[in-house]
Amino acid sequence: MKKKILKFKTDCTIKEIYTFDKTTDLKRPLLGANIPAGFPSPAQDYIEGTLDLNEHLIAHPAATYFVRVEGYSMIGAGIFPNDILIVDRSLEPRDKKVVIAIVDGELTVKRLRIRENYWQLIAENDDYQPINITEDMDFMIWGVITYSIHSL
């Protein structure tokens, strides 16, 4: 991640936004076998090569940003406070995709529902109401979430 470019302190579910900057490689060892969730096999302790997460997580570097989440509206989708989301602004927003949207000047993370006659932004938490997009709203899809990174 590069420097922080924006910081929000409102209840809009986005805490910070970072630009993507791949100026260095950070390759880590990659084990050459699948890791069982049960008992590990000592025979599977060899390294196949190296892995750079940028190569696997970033499809469009010029259009990729990172955002830090604030709030609980998307916990049903596995997105929690302080998670880092990878956002690709070059992807077409489609029905059921999780997106970053701007609604009346506020950034939010929600699931996009595209209906025949209207669009909705749906929270993945029953404590939050859907946002029905109307013509009188200032509305824009800012990007599509491709990955969520969070601590266990």
**Same domain as 53, residue 98:** no
> What is the span of the domain harbouring residue 127?
4-21+59-149
**Same domain as 113, residue 98:** yes
Contacting residues for 14 by C-beta, under 8 A, at least 6 apart: 8, 67, 68, 69, 70, 100, 107, 108, 109
pTM of this prediction exceeds 0.85: no
**Same domain as 141, residue 107:** yes
pLDDT in tens, 52-82: 788 888 889 889 998 999 999 999 999 999 9
**Same domain as 95, residue 71:** yes
Catalytic residues: 73, 110
Residue 53 or residue 37, greater confidence: 53
**Same domain as 81, residue 8:** yes
d(CA 54, CA 21): 10
d(CA 67, CA 13): 10
Count of structural domains, the chain: 2
pLDDT in tens, 6-30: 443 334 467 777 777 766 666 655 5
**Same domain as 141, residue 91:** yes
**Same domain as 71, residue 105:** yes
